[in-house]
A and B are shown apart, each in its own frame.
Chain A
Amino acid sequence: MHKCECEQPLVPVIVEVMDIKDETPDIKSFFVKNPGGNGLPFNVAPGQCAMVSYLPVGESMISCTWQEEQEYLQFAIKRVGLMTDELHQIEVGQKIGLRGPYGNGFPVEACKGKDMLFIAGGIGLAPLRSFIKYCFKHREDYGKIKIIYGSRSYADLCFKDELFELWPQQKDTEVFVTIDNAEEAWKGHVGFVPSYLEELNPSSAGTIAVTCGPPIMINFVLKALEKMGYNDEQVITTLEMRMKCGIGKCGRCNIGSEYICLDGPVFYLAQLRDLPQEY
């Protein structure tokens, strides 16, 4: 047994899954808290991540899409690999492992007083949602909010009740949703996120743009924002790479001399300009 007094950053705590919600055919939200219902193992700031583990199978770094006070941590997880596939099979009451919080999180303070433009694709809305909900919670601290979000299809849109009901009702908030290909019942916009962004052409004045999505989307969004007059200090993105330790030791998530798990996952475009274009 562990004899010394040192902290054990690589050993997870056990939490209980108190609710599971289907977001899309391949994305589920998992709501976790301490076993038995007493609070949370740790606080997670908007944009921070945690290593979520179905212990007999593996661990995956997942951005926390929302912390509701001391009630729950919510992780929206897409089924893509071994661990996430197993996680999608579990039922409410299952104990899972959690360690964190990891990463720097969004610069919520530095963005105060600004208009906010959120641009997300697919599961990329999950990390941004923590910032979006933070803005709504502290509504008077932020200016106008625009959210541009797209997915492959209507079924693949995450957090539909918020997208179509709750968020558009918020003060000074506009939500623009697009899907990649036309569908019979879909009356909204059809097309990819970057082109929709250019079409909407939101003003860069006093605005911070935050984007997350598939790498190809991020790349085109960054180009579009540049064209629209956003400078590198006005653009924030979150990156991801394969991770194992989450604490800047195991080596694999480096971009140049920075580790996404520790120094990221949130970067200003100005910071990325100094790093190798490897994301």
Chain B
Amino acid sequence: MKVLSKSKLETALNKLNQSAEVFLPMQKDKESGFYSWKLFNQGQDELMLNALNVYLPPKNVVLPQTERMYSIKQEGQEIKIDKTFEDSSPRVIFGARPCDLKAILCMDDVFLTRGYEDSFYKCRREAITIVANACFQPGPACFCAAMEINPLEPAGADVIICDAGEAYSWEAKTPKGEALTAQITEYLEEKSLSLPAAKPFVQDVKYEGVAEKLKGMFNNHIWERLGESCHNCGICTYVCPSCYCFDIQVKMWGDEGYRFRCWDSCMYEEYSREAGGGNPRGSGIERFRNRFLHKLEFFKERYGTPLCTGCGRCIVACPAGINIVKIIDEIKEAELDA
């Protein structure tokens, strides 16, 4: 098999960096997430390819937190849109964990199917190559296998690497992956490597049947109790690799400006508040319920897979201790209202 020795990793990254912007998991000061290799400060920052999950997922690479869409120019009653900002410059996500990769595939379903292709997403996404980092040792909050993911051999990767101590195994899975491999072929060796044995999951999550059961639970009393401690702060949606909801806003300086989109959160009251003041999800509990139903039921009904990938980030980040694993358990145990 092809092997990338860890001693050659940085040289290989420098090579890839010549023709694409490479995003990797790193620790920068107190933050960890996927940042550009160009921004890596030797001696200060730390590469986190060995970590299971950095605090922020690579969501920002496929769906930037804010993204310009088009320019607006006003002159009296005339108005012009003379620029749109689709960005198709090449990017590599290097070391995405299978849960984060699956989240990107969920976003592909949203932005590229069901009648419309979102041009901003499409241009960006088509120029992204994903090197997935297979997982052998699930962390304490991990439950990806329960959410229809194979952590050893994740679907949708262009290249799959496995950490075998001194080196990574390197396997191209798509033409994009082959092209990436060709760029660093001088740093890859052909040799056999013994891969680590897969360890069992700490979390025992059984998602089977949950989407179907939830269909009869919209008005169940359980939501009041489950959502009671939620502050609707939105941190779960911020750290979630698959939460994709966005807002569209405008920024003007006098007669010129642009429209942009930015991440939004279903936890916020403004998210669904209508111009007349009405809000179908005016209470925190209603928003809490909608989020979990979207993750566990609605997305599955629409796209055939849940919108939770078992990364466990929201469990770690929630200041109120809300735990989606416990919620799944509670749903399974809940009695249906008569």
Interface bits B252-281 vs A (CB < 8 Å: 1, else 0) = 100101010100101000011111101011
B301 at the interface (CB under 8 A from A): yes
- Provide 16 A-B residue pairs closer than 8 Å at the C-beta atoms, listed in order of the A residue: A1-B84, A3-B88, A6-B117, A6-B123, A7-B116, A12-B81, A57-B250, A241-B272, A242-B275, A245-B248, A248-B115, A251-B245, A251-B294, A252-B272, A262-B114, A278-B218
Which B residues contact A (CB, under 8 angstroms)? Answer: 69-70, 72, 74, 77-81, 83-84, 86, 88, 110-111, 114-120, 122-123, 218-219, 244-250, 252, 255, 257, 259, 261, 264, 266, 271-276, 278, 280-281, 286, 290, 293-294, 297-299, 301-302
Taking a contact as CB atoms under 8 Å apart, the answer to whether A252 and B274 are in contact is: no
Taking a contact as CB atoms under 8 Å apart, the answer to whether A56 and B272 are in contact is: no
Residues of chain A contacted by B301 (CB below 8 angstroms) = 256-257
A205 at the interface (CB under 8 A from B): no
A200 at the interface (CB under 8 A from B): no
Residues of chain A contacted by B264 (CB below 8 angstroms) = 244, 250-252
Taking a contact as CB atoms under 8 Å apart, the answer to whether A252 and B79 are in contact is: no
Given A7-B117, A10-B120, A256-B298, 8 further pairs, Cβ under 8 A = A6-B123, A11-B69, A56-B255, A81-B276, A248-B115, A249-B111, A252-B266, A257-B297
Give Cα A5–Cα B292 distance, bound, in whole angstroms. Answer: 37
What is the number of contacts between chain A and chain B, taking CB atoms within 8 Å?
148
Give Cα A260–Cα B226 distance, bound, in whole angstroms. Answer: 27
| A272 shortest CB reach to chain B, Å | 13
Q: Which residue of A lies closest to B277 (CB)?
A: A80
Taking a contact as CB atoms under 8 Å apart, the answer to whether B86 and A249 are in contact is: no
Residues of chain A contacted by B257 (CB below 8 angstroms) = 56
Give Cα A2–Cα B78 distance, bound, in whole angstroms. Answer: 22
Q: Which residue of A lies closest to B245 (CB)?
A: A251
Give Cα A82–Cα B274 distance, bound, in whole angstroms. Answer: 11
Taking a contact as CB atoms under 8 Å apart, the answer to whether B116 and A248 are in contact is: yes
Give Cα A122–Cα B311 distance, bound, in whole angstroms. Answer: 48
Q: Which residue of B lies closest to A123 (CB)?
A: B276
Contacts A254-B294, A256-B301 given; indicate if A8 touches B84 (C-beta within 8 A): yes
A94 at the interface (CB under 8 A from B): yes
Residues of chain B contacted by A90 (CB below 8 angstroms) = 77
Which A residues contact B (CB, under 8 angstroms)? Answer: 1-4, 6-12, 14, 55-60, 80-84, 90-91, 93-97, 215, 240-242, 244-245, 247-254, 256-257, 262, 276-279
Taking a contact as CB atoms under 8 Å apart, the answer to whether B123 and A257 are in contact is: no
Give Cα A279–Cα B218 distance, bound, in whole angstroms. Answer: 13
Taking a contact as CB atoms under 8 Å apart, the answer to whether A4 and B123 are in contact is: yes
Give Cα A246–Cα B111 distance, bound, in whole angstroms. Answer: 12
Taking a contact as CB atoms under 8 Å apart, the answer to whether B246 and A9 are in contact is: no
Give Cα A47–Cα B18 distance, bound, in whole angstroms. Answer: 52
Residues of chain B contacted by A9 (CB below 8 angstroms) = 116-119
Give Cα A241–Cα B39 distance, bound, in whole angstroms. Answer: 42
Taking a contact as CB atoms under 8 Å apart, the answer to whether B78 and A95 are in contact is: yes
Residues of chain B contacted by A11 (CB below 8 angstroms) = 69-70, 81, 84, 119
Taking a contact as CB atoms under 8 Å apart, the answer to whether B272 and A242 are in contact is: yes
Give Cα A111–Cα B131 distance, bound, in whole angstroms. Answer: 53
Q: Which residue of B lies closest to A253 (CB)?
A: B272
Contacts A2-B86, A82-B275 given; indicate if A250 touches B74 (C-beta within 8 A): no
Taking a contact as CB atoms under 8 Å apart, the answer to whether A262 and B115 are in contact is: yes
Residues of chain B contacted by A278 (CB below 8 angstroms) = 218, 280-281, 286
Contacts A245-B248, A247-B118, A257-B301 given; indicate if A3 touches B111 (C-beta within 8 A): no
Contacts A11-B81, A56-B72, A244-B247 given; indicate if A254 touches B298 (C-beta within 8 A): yes
Residues of chain A contacted by B118 (CB below 8 angstroms) = 9-10, 245, 247, 249
Residues of chain A contacted by B115 (CB below 8 angstroms) = 247-248, 262
Residues of chain A contacted by B266 (CB below 8 angstroms) = 251-252
Q: Which residue of B lies closest to A247 (CB)?
A: B116
| A34 shortest CB reach to chain B, Å | 14
Contacts A10-B119, A11-B69, A94-B77 given; indicate if A58 touches B250 (C-beta within 8 A): yes
Taking a contact as CB atoms under 8 Å apart, the answer to whether B79 and A96 are in contact is: yes
Q: Which residue of A lies closest to B259 (CB)?
A: A55
Residues of chain A contacted by B110 (CB below 8 angstroms) = 248-249
Give Cα A80–Cα B273 distance, bound, in whole angstroms. Answer: 12
Taking a contact as CB atoms under 8 Å apart, the answer to whether B74 and A56 are in contact is: yes
Residues of chain A contacted by B88 (CB below 8 angstroms) = 3-4
Contacts A6-B123, A250-B247 given; indicate if A257 touches B275 (C-beta within 8 A): no
Give the interface centre of A1, A245, A248, A254 by most chain B CB atoms within 10 Å: A254
| B89 shortest CB reach to chain A, Å | 11
| A77 shortest CB reach to chain B, Å | 11
| A7 shortest CB reach to chain B, Å | 7
Give Cα A169–Cα B248 distance, bound, in whole angstroms. Answer: 45
Residues of chain A contacted by B293 (CB below 8 angstroms) = 256, 276
Taking a contact as CB atoms under 8 Å apart, the answer to whether A80 and B116 are in contact is: no
Taking a contact as CB atoms under 8 Å apart, the answer to whether A81 and B247 are in contact is: no
Residues of chain A contacted by B248 (CB below 8 angstroms) = 10, 59, 244-245, 250
Give the interface centre of B117, B122, B280 by most chain A CB atoms within 10 Å: B280
Residues of chain B contacted by A215 (CB below 8 angstroms) = 278
Contacts A14-B79, A245-B248, A257-B302 given; indicate if A55 touches B119 (C-beta within 8 A): no
